[in-house]
Structure 1
Amino acid sequence: MEVKELSADAFWKGEICISGKVEDEGHIYHTKVYIKGSQIFDYSCSCSGGNSGRTMCRHGQELYRAYQAEGREREEKAVSTSQSVRMMIREYTNRQVAEIVAESEGEDVEFLPLLLIRREGLFLEASLKRGREYLLRDLAAFAQAVREGRYVEYGRGLAFNHDLNAFTKESRGMAALASQLALTYLDHYGQIRRGQMPAVPALRSLKLGRADADRFFELIEGRNLQCEDMRGHRRILEAVSGDPDFCVTVKKAGKGGIKVSVPPDLLVFEGEKSLYVADTKKLYRCSREYTEAMSVFLSELLKNREEPGSALVGERDIPLFYERVLKGMEAFGILTQEGVDLESARPEPLSVRFAFDCLDDGRIALTPSLSYGDYHFHPMDDGEVPKEICRDVPGEFRVSCLITRYFSAREEGTGRLLLAAGDDALYRLLDEGMEQFGELGEIWFSDRFRGLNIRRAPEISLGVSAADGWLKLTLDTGDMSGTELLKVLDAYRQKKKYYRLKNGEFLKLSDDGFMTIARLQEGLGIGKGELKEKQIVLPSYRALYLDQMVREEGGIAFYRDSLYKAVVRGMKSVADSDFEIPASFQGELREYQKTGYRWLRTLDHWGFGGILADDMGLGKTIQVIALLLSAKEEGMSLIVCPASLVYNWAHELSVFAPSLRVLTAAGSLGERRELLAGMDSCQVIVTSYDLLKRDIEIYREKSFRFEILDEAQCIKNAATKSARAVKEVKARTRFALTGTPVENHLGELWSIFDYLMPGFLFAYGKFRTMYEIPIVKDRDERAAANLRRLIGPFLLRRLKCDVLKELPEKIERVVYSAFEGEQKKLYGANVLRLRKELEAGGELPGKIQILAGLTRLRQICCDPSLCYENYKGESAKLETCLALLSGAVAAGHRVLLFSQFASMFPIIKKRLDRAGIGCFVLTGATSKEERSRLTARFYAGDVPVFLISLKAGGTGLNLTAADVVIHYDPWWNAAAQDQATDRAHRIGQKKQVTVFRLIMKGTVEESILHLQESKSELADRIVTEGSVSLAGLGREELLKLLEP
């Protein structure tokens, strides 16, 4: 005898089934042995004695011995099937069976509701129908079957899988409602147990709440339903929306009384939103108006057990019953009178009189009076009102509420009510209260009280004339003096609703005229002295702001002379101006560039300066060159730019305006002095910010037609020598070119305008109070809008997406890397050290110390060898970068790679050389000549990769040969990064530019990215650029930078 096959399977709570084939004398027997632990509790075998007795056959014994011989490892590894898995198997089996049953059944089941109206409320019973009808005796069991999708048999003719789709389309919603209500009932009592019935009595009917009644009707509307009244009588009703048309009968009853009745067979119940009324044929969902008028009336009448549907009213209560109950039914035309005259039952209406007086001591008194016919009484003394008077209680209550809203005290012995002391209470009474009192009754007032009123604001007019670069404003406020005008404006700024004049009258301050004058005073910086005299003088650059403000705010008459109108009209119609492009301009301007040229000419024509803030790559330079050509005979002009762009400007001038005599003021001190000695014969001089401040003694003595600042953000700090130097130069018109007029804070914008038109944005302290603090700290949208309105005419900004449709859009993507091994440990140790310094009490570490710590963290993100000389580990970001570069070059792309850390480039270049990828390197140490040579060679296609330091590549480069940009590390200044990107994404680019930003996950780099996004909101609200300022970060923000 030999065991040929053996297997063991766990099947239930540690029980194991041993199966096998046993060969005995040439025959194969199929044998099973069941064990739990070491105990055999059952067996089976295909031999003749396999199931014949209590003793296991020899084949089973042999199988068990073989199992034991294999060791107990099989038992230890065996896993019993969990209860949840068995439940799954049973559930899926039931579903498959149910699907088979459903296919064979064909016809859907109809869920039939029965509505029971009882004194205790509204109840729902139901039955199921497919062929014949089956009463549901337990709605709770039905709900659980629906919830679990169980297959249930109700009788020989009805058995189905309880899925909502098994019901007819018309009754599916009602089945769902009944199931939900039943489950809610069971949940309430905590009776639901998975896989077992609730331990509660069978639930034959469900009680419907008011909200349930509304849902029930929505499901049944337009169909018939069966309804059972309190006497057990059933009727079939059609559910409709509308008001029933039965009559309310009123007839005589007894001595002087009346009897009110409705059909006694009406059924009434209330929902949360509507009243439901059923007659013998229909169930009505009544309108809101009908519900308000009839719900209580019908409910109470039908509760009368002695005579359902009727009630008696005694003679004394008839007027009140009519006024409160029957009067509201007249609108529905359902009142029927039999032998009675309800008109004679109408009660005397409530009459109200309010008498106002101003007492000798200035207090305001009210004497109210209520009347019913000839009977008069004080509303606060109603205790002795005859009982036979039918009183309008809601009306009297309304009067009392209004009186107590304004009058809080009563004068003893007179019945007069006194107004609270103070102008606020009196103004509120005159402004709001008198109209409200007039709505409730008749108003009487004494002569002294009549003298108290709210005076209309005077008609305000403003006249303006322009002459010699100035605006003269004349303000007319009628008979209101300048002194009183100042007081009125002070009250307006304090957000008071009124100002009380010397004669006791009130002046309402919500008038638009006062608001406009107050905002003009604030926005234009008008002094109180000028306002008091009503004669104001302003620089002409305020013309557009003044015109826009008055037109938008309104409230005053505005008179303008012809020159002022011409200034405003000219500035508003730049595109239609007659300024022609000079014939000597060697090139072609796009339409938006022509508009920019005309805008520059228009500002110059009226004596204004401005900022040309076009997006990088849109050709700000050539627009200015056209401007310089247009005035080449009117005097020499000065261009100031970064040193790296001096020769670029000279080259562009030679290309587009070869007729201009251009002097490039660069070189050594001696060379510059020699060149500048002949400057009077030149038409354009180009120099750098650094050289201008060195040679300022020479420039200070000259007068220029134009002074043009390129990359004007270089003077964003008004305290620097460069900023002071450019402001010392005398020029008839000044312009500034910059793609980023705001990088870190609004003070930079102020500095540029202080150069263009000194005083335009006021002194910096006032600008900070009026705009910078409210916009940045308080996020004041009105202040931001006011600043945009002020600078709007003098700042022209066009984006690539707005004006250059042929320029492909950039695709920007952030690529994350994660630390591993030694690099992760080094970063964590440095974060811990810097965090301890920041968390220590007392003063924050110095800015330089903090910056050094953050820089070290950023270097570790790039490659730890930047700050650890002997570091030999890997750099996650370097590997990510090399993978990107290899893929891009292999696909034929040209790449610009920017980094803040020039020391990173030898590391990258070494790896690229090893991979056989050629590259150039450009840093701040690269000479101007070498810079030009490398740029030309890259453009020619000598190498596919250009490594450029962020600051060296931020301005003055045209590298449209590249179509992939990689920012190896993020810098605080997002605008600087964008400028670098635009070396490739500018005019002339024919390919789509893809930008990758490499970020180490969970590091200071990711925090910088988030800070850039949040800080850029400030500039977006003004000129749509932005960056992050380390100096503006507090302890909490710095600590947040270190969070993973």
Structure 2
Amino acid sequence: MAQGTFVQALRKEAALSGTFMKGRSLMLNGAVLSIEDSGSRFSKNVTVEGSVRGSRGDLYKTHVALDMDEHEVIDYDCDCPAAYRYPGMCKHAIATALAYLDASGAEPVEGLRTPVRTFTAQSKQPARTAPKAPAVNPNFPFPAPVPTSPSLVAALSDLSDARMDELASMRRKLAGAVDPDAPKAALEPSLVPYYNPLFADRFSWALEFRIRCGSVSYVVKDIDGMADAYVRGGTFSYGKKLTFVHSPEAFDETSAKLLNLVVTTVAYLDDITSSRSASYDFARSGFVAERQLPLSEHSIVYVLDLLRGQTISFEPAWSRGMTTHRTYDVAVELSPQREDEASAKRPPLLAAKIAPAAGGSYDLRLPADMYCFASGDAAYLVDTRRARRTDAAFAQHAAPFLSRLLPCRTPAHIAAEQVGEFCRMALPILRDYTDLTAPAALDTVAPEPSFAMAIGVGDGLVTCKITVTYGDWSADLFSLGAPGSPFEEQRPGVPPRDEVAEFRVMDTAALYFDFYEGGLAFEERDDARLFCLLTEGLSALSELGEVMLSDRLRQISVRPAPKLSVRATVKSNLLDVELGASGLSAADLAVYLDSYKRHQTFARLTSGDIVRLDEGARAAFGLAEDLGVDAVDLLDGVSLPASSTLFVDSMLARTPALEADRDAAFRRTVERLDTLGKMDFTVPASLKATMRGYQVDGYQWLGSLEHLGLGGILADDMGLGKTLQMIAHILARVEAGDTKPTLVVCPASLVYNWTAELERFAPSLDVCAIVGAKLNAACRSPAWPSIAWS
């Protein structure tokens, strides 16, 4: 038969169209770790056992039988999930066959880069094969084709699995529609002890199942196969008389929900055991549930909830030590205890008894045949007769404690040195949730602690001394040390201490104090710490005990941030701005502003009171900076030109943190300034020039300022006619009847330029140039309205 027929046979046997190429890729990338062939010289058939690393790192065992004469695949098997899910050869079996064909020389595979360890049946040692000459690439000098990346192979495999799952879903729908009147299959679960082979010291629980359909029933011996059939909608056989397509419609409602739990649990356990198998290089990877399915406590509670009003077969863990295992049909109660029942009227679910023992110790007795399964706010107490669901309070408070002790086959012993701890933490739980019989003396063994915190000031420190009291015994909390420490042993008669309560007080106090020389303290000048203590700490500490403040601290009050105000007045063409604060003197306001200047968060006033700095302080400094003065100067008031009125008004308007007080004159000035752009001044007719539009705007602006008694700067670029605008303004004043002279101060080089411009554009004006020390007598005459002076 021609070369290549084995490849054709493998392609034909492949489960899916792309399975052969995936197997070839695994083989070329060295995923086949070892192969072992078995056969004889009298047979033409060869059996190959292989070890293959999957695309996700899992290790699988493969088995392939080949007819070497006929180039046929006789049989194959693999323990991967795909081998159970799809008919045909999986990629791992194909990789094993290709590796053997290449190593034996029957059909070399082109592109192989990693040699495979080959074992013969006779020696069980790696076969010695002569090194092969490198194959000549007919396409040289072009490189050999590179196989698909392993990550992409895995991704394509996922896509293929997804498509198969879609097919399985359709198959389940069709199967469910075939015979809707067929009897429903029912799963009968049993809760049994489980010992994990990977963790020999760890005990848990598992489910076993019996499946019943009509009058036929079988023990489920392959839970993994049942779950796989349910996922893909396939056919599964439990025995000669029970084989059917597994779809949700084939099971009763409770069993379908149980199967959903089984599928989820199998998938989860398969994931975690596969990763563990890869880490330890186990020969078999993944989880395979045969007769038992391990469960968490959460899943056990879920199963019991599903079976309310029904029974479940229960095998206690202690029965495993017997010659014959004991199982009990346990009735799962239909409804839990009512949440609205008062705790005093609620009947206890179990009994407990505490009895004295030798040397001041005690023994705790609880039911010997009861188990506690808890999950969040749900819990069950299970014995050999019934499974009772508790209320949420029991599940949250009692179940975590009792699940450690139940079943109590022998009394739980309480040593004398731990009686106090037991009475403080466990005894209240037993009193609230069990029918407890206990000696009255236990009520006085562990008195509740009380705390007193003395907070005072001295030597520049704010200190806190905490005293803890148990009955008639008391001590400084920080001098005791932790319970059981050598410091505690040096003090005779120390009662059982409540470590949790003590640490709670110390942790709360440490939020407001620093540990300082065996106690708690912080520097008195730390205004922020003192503010936090007085506003928050005293309240938090008073919830834990008695707080005693020294007289000095009681005199310190925490005051709210003051409301800063700005008074703005206009008088005699001057603007006065003054800063004030409600409830603060000028001296305290100065301290307040100085604290902000030193980047502090709080201010200590002259009286010792503490004030938090708020947005008002920042706004005051911002106003002072914009006005070009120091913020402290604003306390006495500063005088500014009236032209600053509009600027100050706009600043106060956008600073809500400062309360503005504007007098009537200030408001009138603002109103007049608002009309600045609305005034109209006509260009003098005697001006010997035609002004451009922007020059007319400048001329009118100068007239408006003149009218309001304000000054201004005309700052047009050079050559745009500032001189002309100014001459027009002077001419308008003269024509309006103003007889006062106008003084033009300019550089000496521009004096005659000004006189020339005045004579040119306003020849009606009398102009006199004053240059140097020469004074023209005529210039002293009030008849000269315009004087150019350098």
Normalised to the residue count of structure 2, the TM-score between the two structures is 0.52
Distance 1:105 1:449, change over 3 A: same
**In structure 2, C-alpha distance between the alignment counterparts of 1:247 and 1:514, rounded to whole Å:** 66
* Partner of residue 495 from structure 2, selected from 389, 395, 412: 389
**In structure 1, C-alpha distance between the alignment counterparts of 2:663 and 2:629, rounded to whole Å:** 21
Distance 1:284 1:105, change over 3 A: same
> After superposition, what is the alpha-carbon deviation per residue over 1:878-931, rounded to whole angstroms, capped at 9, x for unaligned?
xxxxxxxxxxxxxxxxxxxxxxxxxxxxxxxxxxxxxxxxxxxxxxxxxxxxxx
Deviation larger for 228-237 or 435-444:
435-444
* Partner of residue 270 from structure 2, selected from 186, 193, 196: 186
Question: Residue 745 of structure 2 aligns with which residue?
Answer: none
Once the two structures are TM-superposed, the CA of residue 268 in structure 1 deviates from its matched residue by 0.6
**In structure 1, C-alpha distance between the alignment counterparts of 2:721 and 2:394, rounded to whole Å:** 84
Deviation larger for 93-102 or 179-188:
93-102
**In structure 2, C-alpha distance between the alignment counterparts of 1:436 and 1:424, rounded to whole Å:** 19
Question: Residue 408 of structure 1 aligns with which residue?
Answer: 515
1:5-84 counterparts in 2 under 5 A?
12=9
* Partner of residue 349 from structure 1, selected from 448, 466, 471: 448
Once the two structures are TM-superposed, the CA of residue 488 in structure 1 deviates from its matched residue by 3.2
Question: Residue 205 of structure 2 aligns with which residue?
Answer: 122
The SS at the match of 1:234 is strand
> After superposition, what is the alpha-carbon deviation per residue over 1:544-592, rounded to whole angstroms, capped at 9, x for unaligned?
6634642xx5xx7665667989999xxxxxxxxxxxxxxxxxxxxxxxx
Question: Residue 125 of structure 2 aligns with which residue?
Answer: none
Pairing 1:443–2:557 present: no
User: Structure 2: which amino acid aligns with 1:209?
Assistant: S
Once the two structures are TM-superposed, the CA of residue 124 in structure 1 deviates from its matched residue by 2.8
Once the two structures are TM-superposed, the CA of residue 678 in structure 1 deviates from its matched residue by 6.4
Question: Residue 234 of structure 2 aligns with which residue?
Answer: 150
The SS at the match of 1:322 is helix
Distance 1:513 1:301, change over 3 A: same
Distance 1:202 1:88, change over 3 A: closer
**In structure 1, C-alpha distance between the alignment counterparts of 2:421 and 2:581, rounded to whole Å:** 59
Q: 1:114, 1:225 within 8 Å by CA — same for their partners in 2? A: no
User: Structure 2: which amino acid aligns with 1:277?
Assistant: L
Gaps of 5+ in 2: 1-6, 14-68, 73-155, 195-202, 279-283, 320-326, 340-345, 481-487, 706-713, 727-790
Once the two structures are TM-superposed, the CA of residue 394 in structure 1 deviates from its matched residue by 1.6
User: Structure 2: which amino acid aligns with 1:351?
Assistant: S
Pairing 1:371–2:469 present: yes
User: Structure 2: which amino acid aligns with 1:384?
Assistant: Q
Distance 1:699 1:241, change over 3 A: same
**In structure 2, C-alpha distance between the alignment counterparts of 1:12 and 1:676, rounded to whole Å:** 114
Distance 1:216 1:517, change over 3 A: farther
**In structure 2, C-alpha distance between the alignment counterparts of 1:100 and 1:127, rounded to whole Å:** 26
**In structure 1, C-alpha distance between the alignment counterparts of 2:448 and 2:548, rounded to whole Å:** 20
1:633-644 counterparts in 2 under 5 A?
634-635=680-681
Distance 1:166 1:462, change over 3 A: farther
1:322-337 counterparts in 2 under 5 A?
322-328=423-429, 332=432, 334=433, 336=435
User: Structure 1: which amino acid aligns with 2:425?
Assistant: R
Question: Residue 268 of structure 1 aligns with which residue?
Answer: 372
Pairing 1:208–2:295 present: yes
Once the two structures are TM-superposed, the CA of residue 448 in structure 1 deviates from its matched residue by 5.1
Once the two structures are TM-superposed, the CA of residue 182 in structure 1 deviates from its matched residue by 0.8
Once the two structures are TM-superposed, the CA of residue 103 in structure 1 deviates from its matched residue by 3.0
Question: Residue 399 of structure 1 aligns with which residue?
Answer: 505
The SS at the match of 2:389 is strand
Q: 1:102, 1:160 within 8 Å by CA — same for their partners in 2? A: no
Distance 1:180 1:404, change over 3 A: same
Q: Percent identity over the alignment? A: 19
* Partner of residue 306 from structure 1, selected from 398, 410, 426: 410
**In structure 2, C-alpha distance between the alignment counterparts of 1:260 and 1:229, rounded to whole Å:** 25
Pairing 1:358–2:447 present: no
> After superposition, what is the alpha-carbon deviation per residue over 1:773-810, rounded to whole angstroms, capped at 9, x for unaligned?
xxxxxxxxxxxxxxxxxxxxxxxxxxxxxxxxxxxxxx
**In structure 1, C-alpha distance between the alignment counterparts of 2:313 and 2:716, rounded to whole Å:** 91
Alpha-carbon RMSD across the aligned residues, in angstroms, is: 5.7
> After superposition, what is the alpha-carbon deviation per residue over 1:50-87, rounded to whole angstroms, capped at 9, x for unaligned?
xxxxxxxxxxxxxxxxxxxxxxxxxxxxxxxxx99999
**In structure 1, C-alpha distance between the alignment counterparts of 2:611 and 2:373, rounded to whole Å:** 54
Once the two structures are TM-superposed, the CA of residue 487 in structure 1 deviates from its matched residue by 5.5
> After superposition, what is the alpha-carbon deviation per residue over 1:104-148, rounded to whole angstroms, capped at 9, x for unaligned?
232585564636264822323345454355443222222333444
Deviation larger for 272-281 or 179-188:
272-281
Distance 1:246 1:461, change over 3 A: same
The SS at the match of 1:476 is strand
Deviation larger for 488-497 or 177-186:
488-497
Distance 1:274 1:385, change over 3 A: farther
User: Structure 1: which amino acid aligns with 2:474?
Assistant: H
**In structure 2, C-alpha distance between the alignment counterparts of 1:466 and 1:282, rounded to whole Å:** 90
Pairing 1:228–2:228 present: no
Distance 1:152 1:425, change over 3 A: same
Once the two structures are TM-superposed, the CA of residue 251 in structure 1 deviates from its matched residue by 5.8
**In structure 1, C-alpha distance between the alignment counterparts of 2:563 and 2:725, rounded to whole Å:** 47
**In structure 2, C-alpha distance between the alignment counterparts of 1:170 and 1:726, rounded to whole Å:** 98
The SS at the match of 2:502 is helix
The SS at the match of 1:348 is coil
Pairing 1:237–2:332 present: yes
1:636-675 counterparts in 2 under 5 A?
none
Once the two structures are TM-superposed, the CA of residue 419 in structure 1 deviates from its matched residue by 3.9
Once the two structures are TM-superposed, the CA of residue 474 in structure 1 deviates from its matched residue by 4.3
Pairing 1:290–2:394 present: yes
1:746-761 counterparts in 2 under 5 A?
none
Question: Residue 733 of structure 1 aligns with which residue?
Answer: none
The SS at the match of 1:190 is helix
User: Structure 1: which amino acid aligns with 2:191?
Assistant: L
Distance 1:472 1:547, change over 3 A: farther
Distance 1:701 1:294, change over 3 A: closer
Question: Residue 103 of structure 1 aligns with which residue?
Answer: 177
**In structure 1, C-alpha distance between the alignment counterparts of 2:572 and 2:645, rounded to whole Å:** 9
Once the two structures are TM-superposed, the CA of residue 204 in structure 1 deviates from its matched residue by 2.0
**In structure 2, C-alpha distance between the alignment counterparts of 1:225 and 1:723, rounded to whole Å:** 107
Distance 1:701 1:387, change over 3 A: closer
**In structure 1, C-alpha distance between the alignment counterparts of 2:720 and 2:210, rounded to whole Å:** 94
Q: 1:541, 1:608 within 8 Å by CA — same for their partners in 2? A: no
1:671-682 counterparts in 2 under 5 A?
677=689
Q: 1:108, 1:130 within 8 Å by CA — same for their partners in 2? A: yes
> After superposition, what is the alpha-carbon deviation per residue over 1:520-551, rounded to whole angstroms, capped at 9, x for unaligned?
6678887525533256865336546634642x
Once the two structures are TM-superposed, the CA of residue 475 in structure 1 deviates from its matched residue by 3.1
Distance 1:529 1:418, change over 3 A: closer
Once the two structures are TM-superposed, the CA of residue 207 in structure 1 deviates from its matched residue by 2.0
**In structure 1, C-alpha distance between the alignment counterparts of 2:184 and 2:628, rounded to whole Å:** 81
Q: 1:474, 1:536 within 8 Å by CA — same for their partners in 2? A: no
Distance 1:178 1:463, change over 3 A: farther
* Partner of residue 528 from structure 1, selected from 622, 631, 638: 631
Distance 1:270 1:336, change over 3 A: closer
**In structure 2, C-alpha distance between the alignment counterparts of 1:319 and 1:268, rounded to whole Å:** 26
Matched length: 525
**In structure 1, C-alpha distance between the alignment counterparts of 2:243 and 2:256, rounded to whole Å:** 17
User: Structure 2: which amino acid aligns with 1:228?
Assistant: F
User: Structure 1: which amino acid aligns with 2:427?
Assistant: L
Q: 1:124, 1:207 within 8 Å by CA — same for their partners in 2? A: yes
**In structure 2, C-alpha distance between the alignment counterparts of 1:548 and 1:89, rounded to whole Å:** 66
**In structure 2, C-alpha distance between the alignment counterparts of 1:163 and 1:719, rounded to whole Å:** 91
Distance 1:543 1:176, change over 3 A: farther
The SS at the match of 1:189 is helix
**In structure 1, C-alpha distance between the alignment counterparts of 2:417 and 2:70, rounded to whole Å:** 96
**In structure 2, C-alpha distance between the alignment counterparts of 1:529 and 1:271, rounded to whole Å:** 66
Once the two structures are TM-superposed, the CA of residue 169 in structure 1 deviates from its matched residue by 5.3
Once the two structures are TM-superposed, the CA of residue 294 in structure 1 deviates from its matched residue by 0.9
